[in-house]
Chain A
């Protein structure tokens, strides 16, 4: 279903960027962002907004020094937190969606806790889990986990009734239901929540890395900011953004591999 010259709405238009592959699909957007950034830099005329050129020169300079250490620290924290987010969020979400008893016991607690600004609890996390990596990882996971939990729970509720009947008529037991019905049914939602959670998680991580650490992109950024080194600040922001962008790309790739049926029947 390719309609050359008709990049309008509809499934073929929507899947276009994905078909061109990850780097090519972000190119126009990247150019737009860089252009706007340059305009902003020139228009504002303040050292607080360095130009893209200056920023990336500083980034290259940082890369020769300790950037890798900071990024690796942030990456490790984000990956650990994301793993927790997915595992815990999916398990709880499936339990809430599939079991009336779990929904009765925990459903209202989730509804109460979901809108609470978890970010405000950073001090509590540091008191409970120490000032090291553990508290940061748990903190980021706690911020992001509701994304997965709520979308998985809703995903279970949206499984068509006929599939439950089909599963029952095929004589599926609990573990088979989980494997053949619940998990594949919510897998696309897990990926959506992964993307949303990554955005929130990186922001939470930046916040957490302002305290009690000397490694991490968040530390790098705020430390430079405190010393009015705006070029390094922006270079850190750019590095953190590129890191997040890479993680988004990985999530897309994993979704294409693990959910091949999503592209089925769309002429691809």
Chain B
């Protein structure tokens, strides 16, 4: 599904951060290799500034590759539809209600989705957006503006908006970094439901970026450790898919292994 070979991404220095992505690094990704099969979920962990978010933006086609190659389904990311991205700070439009935000996902979605959008009536978009919000437990907040929602509700609204476009590749950038412990767990269970295909007809592939090792091990069928613009190691996660994972000792042992890798031990 995702094939990266020697992928390099540069940010021109001094470029206004508002127009492009992230901070003005010179080299955010430095010869990164990655291969991810369809239907898997990859959790990327790494210290701040290691290029985690840039990797997501590159896969989403939002930042161009300066060197190497990156293909999603054998196509350059920018030419592809079906990729949805959930931003770290949600990226909800403050002037739109939760429902209107999700409706934007229904209509925009993908370049190929334009025709579908014309065929569907606005009412159908609305119904779909509402059922997505209800699925993620934000049905009661449909007519509220983002400023009136809690952090967890905003996060779930953002996910509903991303899924409204019916993507087959879902990218999550630090999805639970600003959630309290309980919101975090309910959010993680919702994502696990998506990852483990129980209710995703399209064989959804998920890439999530996090600095939380336990979250990575809970949500990733494989866990990649990133460091200075490269992937240092990818670990297959034999424990993936168990919702009661946190009650098993192996879980913490696996987390410890990831932590050691992050801290630079061989």
> Min CB distance, A208 to chain B, in Å?
36
Give the complex CA separation of A222 and B21 in angstroms: 58
> Which parts of B36-52 form the interface with A (CB within 8 Å)?
none
Give the complex CA separation of A24 and B88 in angstroms: 44
Bitwise interface map of B from 77 to 97 toward A, beta carbon under 8 Å scored 1, else 0: 000010111011101111110
Q: Are B91 and A265 in contact (CB under 8 A)?
A: no
The answer, yes or no, to whether A264 is at the interface (CB within 8 Å) is yes
Using known A-B contacts A165-B57, A181-B93, determine if residue A265 contacts B81 with beta carbons closer than 8 Å: no
> Min CB distance, B80 to chain A, in Å?
11
Q: Are A261 and B145 in contact (CB under 8 A)?
A: yes
Q: Are A171 and B108 in contact (CB under 8 A)?
A: yes
Q: Which bucket holds chain A's interface residue count?
A: 20 to 34
Residue of B nearest to A258 (CB): B95
**A121 contacts which chain B residues (CB < 8 A)?**
none
Residue of B nearest to A264 (CB): B145
State which of B91, B92, B94, B111 has its C-beta within 8 Å of the C-beta of A165. B91
Q: Are B113 and A160 in contact (CB under 8 A)?
A: no
Give the complex CA separation of A34 and B20 in angstroms: 54
Q: Are B87 and A265 in contact (CB under 8 A)?
A: no
**B19 contacts which chain A residues (CB < 8 A)?**
161, 164
The answer, yes or no, to whether A2 is at the interface (CB within 8 Å) is no
Give the complex CA separation of A260 and B144 in angstroms: 10
The answer, yes or no, to whether A243 is at the interface (CB within 8 Å) is no
Q: Are B18 and A261 in contact (CB under 8 A)?
A: no
B interface, over-half SS: loop
Q: Are B95 and A163 in contact (CB under 8 A)?
A: no
Using known A-B contacts A169-B62, A169-B85, A170-B108, determine if residue A160 contacts B145 with beta carbons closer than 8 Å: no
The answer, yes or no, to whether B250 is at the interface (CB within 8 Å) is no
The answer, yes or no, to whether B17 is at the interface (CB within 8 Å) is yes
Q: Are B18 and A164 in contact (CB under 8 A)?
A: yes
Q: Are B21 and A166 in contact (CB under 8 A)?
A: no
Q: Are A162 and B87 in contact (CB under 8 A)?
A: yes
**A266 contacts which chain B residues (CB < 8 A)?**
147
Bitwise interface map of B from 144 to 168 toward A, beta carbon under 8 Å scored 1, else 0: 1111100000000000010001000
Give the complex CA separation of A259 and B92 in angstroms: 16
**B146 contacts which chain A residues (CB < 8 A)?**
264
> Which parts of A168-215 form the interface with B (CB within 8 Å)?
168-172, 176, 180-181, 184-185, 187
List 6 extra interface pairs beyond A172-B104, A264-B146, CB under 8 A: A161-B21, A164-B19, A168-B62, A170-B105, A180-B93, A180-B104
Q: List 9 A-B contacts (CB under 8 A).
A: A161-B18, A162-B88, A165-B62, A166-B91, A170-B165, A171-B110, A176-B108, A180-B93, A264-B146
